[in-house]
Amino acid sequence: MPDRPALDTVDVAAQDPDREQPWADLGLKADEYQRIREILGRRPTSSELAMYSVMWSEHCSYKSSKVHLKQFSEIAQETPVGKMLAGIGENAGVIDVGQGYAVTFKVESHNHPSYVEPYQGAATGVGGIVRDILAMGARPVAVMDPLRFGPLDAEDTHRVLPGIVAGVGGYGNCLGLPNIGGEAVFDETYLGNPLVNALCVGVLRHEDLHLAKASGEGNQVILYGARTGGDGIGGVSVLASETFDADGPAKRPSVQVGDPFMEKLLIECTLEIFAAGLVAGIQDLGGAGLSCATSELASAGDGGMRVDLDQVPLRDSTLAPEEILMSESQERMMAVVEPGDVARFMEICAKWDVEAVVIGEVTETGRLEIDWHGQRVVDVPPRTVAHEGPVYQRPFARPDWQDALQADAAEALPRPGTGAELRETVLRLAGSPNLCDKSWITDQYDRYVLGNTVLAQPSDSGMIRIDEETNLGVAVSTDCNGRFAKLDPYAGAQLALVESYRNVATGGAKPLAISDCLNFGSPEDPAVMWQFAEACRGLKDACVELGIPVTGGNVSLYNQTGETAILPTPVVAVLGVIEDVTRRTPTGFQAAGEEIFLLGTTREELSGSEWAHVVHGHLGGKPPAVDLAAEKALATLLADGLGLLTSAHDLSDGGLAHALVEATLRQGIGASVTVDGDAFVGLFAESAGRAVVTVPAGSVETLTALALEHGVPIRHLGRTGGESLVVEGQFEIALDELRETWTATLPAALA
C-alpha cells in the first residue's frame, strides 16, 4: 500500500498555493472552486475542499432550486390555518395541532443510492428521515413511502423493486414504526432511475421543540451513536447531484449501510436526553455527515466551533480526515451540551449502549476550526459552507414540444361504447400496475405496530392517534401524477397537492400543512428547469388560496438516465388534524342498503388519465382543471360530515370506475349505480374535486342539505349491496372476478 501524502494543513495550504486539487472529481465547477479560494484567501486544504464539495452539492445546497423555493418561505405568514412552530430551514417543519401537541413531518428522497444498492439505499432513506424528525425533539410515530419504478415487466424493475421494498420494510419494521401509506407507481421514465421518497411523522409537546444550533461559548459538542466508517463517503450528497449514464451511474460512491437496531437505541437514548433537559442544540448526521452537522450547527448558533476530528470513533482506522468529514455513515447525532450536563448525558448514552464522545466545543471566533492530531486542517467561516453556497439562476424556458404535447388530447382517442367494452375496460384498469392491489408491497410493512394506527393503505390517507385519552389524531397523504405534471407542471403540482388534500379530508381530518419532495431531471436542461419553476409557482399559488403553509421538504434533481428525464414528479404530502379518530370516516363501503352519492363535478377530462396510459399508451392534452375553491368546499363538507358519512373515497386515477372497485372490494360489499350521460366519461374521466360517499337511507336529506350549504354539487348514484358491481344498463362484474383481477398483478409479476 502506498504511503499517504503528508497532512494538508491550513499552514501547508498557505505555503503551497498552486497545488493541483481534484475539485472537478468532487463535483465542483471551476468558478465554485475559485470562489472557495476567494473566501479563504488561499487554496483550501483537502479537508476543506471535501467539506465545500459535499455541502455545495446540488443535494445539500439547493443551488439550482433555492431561487424558486424562497417563495414558499414568503407565503408562510399568509397561510394562517396551521400555526407553524418551525419551518423551512430546520430539519423538519413543526405545526401546532392543538391540546399542547405539535406534529413534525417531512418527506425526502433517496433516489440515486436506491438504484445503486436498492436495499441499503431505501433502508437508509427511512433511517435518515426518522433522524430528521427525532432532531426536532419529537418521537417518530409513523413512516410512509412514495415510490416510483420503471415498467413492471422490465428486468431492472425486478432488480430494484424487491430490494427497495425490503429495505423500507426491514428498517421501519425493526424500528417498530408503522408504515401507514405511500404510493407505488410504474412508468417508463423511471426505468434506471427509481424514486424512493420517505416520509416520517413525529409527535412532541410544544415545550419539547429543539432546534439545530450551537450557542453558548464553552458548550461541549458531543458526537454519539454509531461509529464512522467508509460507507457513504460522498454518498447521497454527490451521488444525488449527477445524472446517470445510460449504462449506470457515472459515480458509484459507497452507499450508506443502515443498522436499524442501533437507530432504535439512538431514538430512545435521545428522547431520554431531551426529557432530562440536557441539550442546547442538536443535529442529525445525514447527507454530508460531519461536514453538514458541524457547519450547520455553528452557522445557526454563535458562529464558532472547534472540533478535534481525531476524537471521532471510527470503524476504519485508515480513514483520512477528509474521508471522515465526507462519510455519511448512519445512526449518528451531534448534540451541544453545557459542560455541567456532560456527565449526565454520558450516563444516559451508556445506559442505552450508545457510544458518545466529546469532539469539540462552541467558540465565539466566528470560525469552524477542525484539528487532526493537533494540526489544523479546517479553518473556515461556517456560513460559507452551510448557507452561503452558490446560487444559480439556471436558464429555463417552456420547451418547444409543449404545445404539440398539449394539442394531442386523449379526448380524441377511440373509446369503448358498449356495456361489454366498458366492463372489459374496468377490469383492465383494475389489474393495471398503477391501480392494482399493492398488498404484495404493503404486506411487507408492519402497518399497525404501536397500536395507534387508525387508517393505513389502502385507505385514502394514513391516520395515527397521538393522544390515547382524547383520541386526537393526524392524517397524512402523499400523491403525485407525473403525467399531469408533464402535460402542465403548474397544474400538475396543484393536482398533486389537491389530491393529497382531498385524501386527508375524506377521512374527516382538516388539512393543515404540506411538505414536498420535488423530483425532476437535470437542472442544466432549460425545459426541466421550466417544469420545476412552474411546479413551484403552482404549489405557492395553491397554498395561498387553500390557506396552508409549506413547512419544508426536499428537492431531488438529476433524475434522468442519459438524455431521458423522469416525468416531473412533485410529490406533495398533506397533514391534517382530526379531533377524535374514533369518528373518522372509512374509505370503503361498510354496509349493504346505504345510499351512494357523487360529490363534485365530472367533466370530459381524459388527458393524462390512467385509461389513456393503460389502453392507448398515450400521453398528451391538458390535465384536469384545478378548482381550489371547490376543493376547499369539498374538504369542509367532508369534515363537517363526520358521523353522518359512513364512507368516503376520493376520485382520482381511474375515475369513478376505479373508486367503486376499491370501495366495493374493501369490505366485499357490492353496489348498483347509474351513470348519467356518456357512461364512458362518467366512469373514466379523472376530474378533480370529487368524492364518492355513502350515508344510511335516513340521512339522505341531511347530506343533501349539507352539500347545498357548502355549494358542492351532489348526485345520487345508487345503493350498496349484493355481490357484484353493477352499472345499470351497462354491465355487471362479480366481486370475486373483480378481486381476482385486482389482486393478481403484482404477485404474478414478482413471484
Q: How confident is the model at residue 751 (pLDDT cuts 50, 70, 90)?
A: confident
Catalytic amino acids? 59, 110
pLDDT band at 239 (very low <50, low <70, confident <90, very high): very low
The pairing of strands 195-205 and 101-109 is antiparallel
C-alpha 207/C-alpha 277 separation (Å) is 11
What is the predicted pLDDT for the residue at 378? 97
| Greater model confidence, 255 or 24 | 24
pLDDT at 93 over 80: yes
The pLDDT tens digits for 427-468 are 999 999 999 999 999 999 999 999 999 999 999 999 999 999
pLDDT at site 147 = 98
Do 540 and 72 contact (CB within 8 A), yes or no?
Answer: yes
For 274-287, the pLDDT digits (tens) are 999 999 999 999 88
pLDDT tens digits, 325-383: 999 999 999 999 999 999 999 999 999 999 999 999 999 999 999 999 999 999 999 99
Instruction: Give the C-alpha separation, 173 to 108, whole Å.
Output: 19
- Mean pLDDT of all residues in 607-616: 98
Whole-angstrom distance, CA of residue 479 vs CA of residue 577: 18
CA atoms of 301 and 368, how far apart (whole Å): 12
Measured at the alpha carbon of residue 365, what is the angle toward residues 362 and 366, in degrees to the nearest 5? 90
pLDDT at position 141? 97
303-326 pLDDT tens trace: 799 999 999 999 999 999 999 999
pLDDT per position as a tens digit, 505-560? 999 999 999 999 999 999 999 999 999 999 999 999 999 999 999 999 999 999 99
Q: What is the pLDDT of residue 4?
A: 58
Mean model confidence pLDDT for the chain: 93
pLDDT at residue 677 in the model: 93
Residue type (1 letter), 345: F
Task: Tell me how far apart the 2 most distant CA atoms of the chain are, in Å.
Answer: 88
User: Assign residue 471 a region: left if phi > 0, alpha if psi is -120 to 50, beta otherwise?
Assistant: left
Tally the residues of the chain. 751
The percentage of the chain sitting over the pLDDT mark of 90, rounded to a whole number, equals 88
What pLDDT score was predicted for residue 211?
A: 78
